[in-house]
Chain A
Amino acid sequence: MSDSSKSFDKTPSARTSQDKLAPATPLNPRHRAIVVGASVGMGAALSKKLAKEGYAVALVARQKDKLNTLCAEINQSVGETRALAYPHDVTNYKEVPGLLQKIVADLGGLDAFIFMAGINYPPGGNDKYNFENDRQMVEINLIGAMAWLNPVAEMFQSAKAGQIVGIGSVAGDRGRVGNPGYNTSKAGVHTYLEALRNRLTRHGVNVLTVKPGFVKTEMLKAAVGPTPFAIPVEKAVDDIYKAMQKRKQSIYTPFFWGYIMFVIRHIPSFVFRRLSF
């Protein structure tokens, strides 16, 4: 528990009786998950999947309208309240500890935390530099993740249980000419998650790094250049869910990106410097 919660606006979304989750009992147990970046893309699809599998899911995202629509859609499709919506901007770092505390109280605990929030602003040319865009990518993709994962890790470490899922990218495995800012933010996420894994595994906490290739989301539409082997978002989400159940450490989705990236990771620098991707 933290004093920082005092700075947090206590009513991010008014609770009504319809927002109450059904009681968890031994015969109707409930896994509890938080998805940050839940309103679109993989976040929305994974939230749906988790709710379908019986999880109570706290949906956290900036876009309030999209969030509420998704929340209502999920609850309607499963026939009971399993999703709760919490509008929040991940760059509002100070709000995080208090919001986390509130969500965990509303869910009645926490089993899995998934950080999905991410943006990608390609600079639009190998000779273009845009500090503002780079800064935003790092602030959301990396610092946003750290702002949430620090208090979540502290909680799980103390409880000696839990699962953290962070979304990296194949783009985080090497620095490339096309998008230095995005590469950096995702490489940072990989390293940060690895460090958490090394800290938390001994306390019974699982940390899963997901490295997606190209997934057919809004983000992909903004991509510049070829996007080979793009997969539907549902396929990526199924892979993530399976990896969560198996408590894996790190996955590529789809899996064959593992082989591709193995090769790419081993391209010597004197060659890589001359490549155009």
Chain B
Amino acid sequence: MRTTFTQLENFGHSLDAPAYLIKPRGTEEIYSAFKLAKQNELTVTARGAGRSYNDAALNGGGIVLDMTAMDQILEWDPATGLVRCEPGVTLEKLWQKVEPEGWWPPVVSGTMRTTLGGCLSANIHGKNNFKMGTIGEHVLEFTATLPTGAEVTCSPKKNADLFYAMISGYGMLGIFTSITLQMKRIYSGLLVVDALPVQNLNRHLTALYDGAPHNDYIVGWMETFAGGSGLGRGQIHAARYLHEGEDPNPQETMKLKNQILPPRIFGVFPKGLLHYFMRPFANNLGWRMVNIAKYIVSLPKHTFRQPHAAFHFLLDYVPNWELSYGRDGLIQYQSFLPKETAEAAWTEVLKLSQKRGMPSYLGVTKRHRPDKFLLTHSVDGFSLALDFKVKNSTRAKMSAMLQEFDKIIIAHGGRFYFAKNSETTAETALAFYGEETVKKFKQLKKRCDPNELLESDLYRRIFG
């Protein structure tokens, strides 16, 4: 088994941690890596596509298992929509396999580059969280290798405690080796999308709340520079599937070529180069202009039809967009709040960021529902994800501001999501998970990983 000492980064290019990289090709090699770790007194972390904004897939100075070589779709049944995959299969590979045959993954992230193993570890949600829950709710069964070498099979009925803890467990209990998922039937390659402007935070959240029951997907874009009466203004995109018969030519719209994102703008300019041109705008003034311009353009209410892939994978629309944030990269701050307290808390948060002169450059809102997974991030309410540019000159100031945000969110009964937040402390994590949950998780950890071999930088930060 080859180990390569490699410099690894988070998705936002704002954190680096070199590690001994091993690319296992099966359960035996995963177990060998655990043995090697034990022998060398090192720890192990699994890494999928490395799309977490934080330290979830980093293990500085330790061993990192690059799971991308285990990327086979093992079984696919177009009659039932059941698919069994290795953990390194990306959402991209999955949807491109199932979509032309009339199926779509029930839950997808904003980028299709994520792997299923990573998706389960973070228990990702999509723009349909209020309706379909997290990806874990569509997992029928998975198998995993524990650090002890034991192979376990888990489903909501079998080894249920492990099922609900490993999904959402950030890879700290074991390594997924196969995942069985139920796909969702679709009758067209298109979605009907309504776009409507919202003038302030109250209307923004009301539109999400009221719009959710009538739609399959709902997501808001927040213009984060507006203050005063326009605080929290933005645009809502609500989408629904086309029912059987609504699309006159589903065979055509479901074709892969009609889903794949175009690599060039106007068929001419390669999008791979776009991030260079975005770089000059990656400052307060530039993004303020972009935000205001986008808001003005979004004002007319309109309805249109859009392919699934184009609607969902906005983050892939500009390849390597995260590089436009410059040398020090970006972080994302996402908070989840109950519907009753969201408006008050985010009003404070947004005002504070504007007052401190460190506005977010991009805000995204969603509607959520709670779930049964042990380390759940969800609530019956909303989430707001804010992107911040990291700058050497404002690191300390921004760090202090984010700690203030955390206090506001916790005081309002909120939660955080560890595919995103990079600055949350162990105390804050304990405050929203609750002592009982953490105790239960640590008991499971002791059972699955008695030698404490599975540790990521994230684990040490929030449970260390």
In the assembled complex, A92 has its CB within 8 A of some CB on chain B? no
CB < 8 Å neighbour of B17 from A5, A101, A109, A155: A109
A109 near B331 (CB under 8 angstroms)?
no
Is B390 part of the contact surface with A, judged by Cβ < 8 Å?
A: yes
Find out whether the CB atom of B18 lies under 8 angstroms from the CB atom of A20.
no
CB-CB nearest 6 A-B residue pairs: A108-B60, A26-B14, A105-B61, A27-B399, A23-B461, A158-B5
A200–chain B nearest beta-carbon distance, Å: 14
Interface residues of B in 446-464 (CB under 8 A from A): 457, 460-461, 464
Determine if B460 and A23 form an interchain contact, defined as CB atoms under 8 angstroms apart: yes
Instruction: Report the minimal beta-carbon distance from A139 to chain B, rounded to whole angstroms.
Output: 28
4 more contacts with CB within 8 A, not counting A26-B390, A109-B18, A109-B60, are A25-B461, A26-B14, A27-B396, A155-B18
27 residue pairs from A and B, CB less than 8 Å apart: A1-B5, A1-B20, A6-B39, A23-B461, A24-B457, A25-B423, A26-B12, A26-B54, A26-B328, A26-B331, A26-B390, A26-B423, A27-B395, A27-B398, A27-B399, A101-B40, A101-B42, A105-B60, A105-B61, A105-B62, A107-B61, A108-B60, A108-B457, A109-B18, A109-B19, A158-B4, A158-B6
Q: How far is the CB of A256 from chain B (nearest CB, A)?
A: 33
In the assembled complex, A135 has its CB within 8 A of some CB on chain B: no
Identity of the chain A residue whose Cβ is nearest the Cβ of B6 in the assembled complex: A159
B360 to chain A, nearest CB (A): 14
A211 to B309, CA, bound (A): 60
Which of A151-191 touch B at CB < 8 Å?
A: 154-155, 158-161
Residues of B within 8 A of A27 (CB): 331, 390, 395-396, 398-399, 402, 422-423
A49 neighbours in B (Cβ, 8 Å):
none
Asked if B61 contacts A26 (CB within 8 A), the reply is no
State whether the Cβ of A245 lies closer than 8 Å to any Cβ in chain B.
no
Residues of B participating in the A interface, judged by any CB pair closer than 8 Å: 3-7, 10, 12, 14-20, 36, 39-43, 54-55, 60-63, 328-329, 331, 390, 395-396, 398-399, 402, 422-423, 457, 460-461, 464
Question: How far apart are B462's CB and chain A's nearest CB, in angstroms?
Answer: 9
Contact call A1/B6, Cβ cutoff below 8 A: no
Contact A159 to B42, CB < 8 A, known contacts A25-B55, A107-B60: no
Tell me, rounded to whole Å, the shortest Cβ–Cβ distance linking B35 to chain A: 12
In contact, B18 and A161 (Cβ under 8 angstroms):
yes
Across the interface, B61 reaches (CB within 8 A) one of A5, A25, A29, A106, namely: A106
B18 lies within 8 A of A110 (CB): yes
Q: Is A104 an interface residue (CB 8 A)?
A: yes
Contact residues in A for B18 (Cβ distance below 8 Å): 104, 109-110, 155, 159, 161
On whether the beta carbons of A28 and B40 are closer than 8 Å, the reply is no
Question: Is B464 in contact with A20, judged by CB distance below 8 angstroms?
Answer: yes
Q: Which of A6, A29, A105, A154: most chain B Cβ within 10 A? A: A105
Question: How many Å from the CB of B367 to the closest CB on chain A?
Answer: 28
Q: Which residues of B contact A106 (CB under 8 A)?
A: 61
A109 vs B15: C-alpha distance when bound (angstroms): 11
The answer to whether A10 has its CB under 8 Å from any CB of chain B is yes
CB distance from B65 to the nearest CB of A (A): 14
Q: How far is the CB of A86 from chain B (nearest CB, A)?
A: 14
Q: Do B62 and A1 touch (CB < 8 A)? A: no
Contacts A1-B20, A5-B40; is A26 near B60 (CB within 8 Å)?
A: no
Closest partner residue, chain A, to B458 (CB atom): A23
Residue among A5, A102, A110, A159 facing the most chain B CB atoms (10 A cut-off): A159
State how many angstroms separate the Cβ of A3 from the closest Cβ of chain B: 8
Nearest residue, chain A, Cβ from B63 = A1
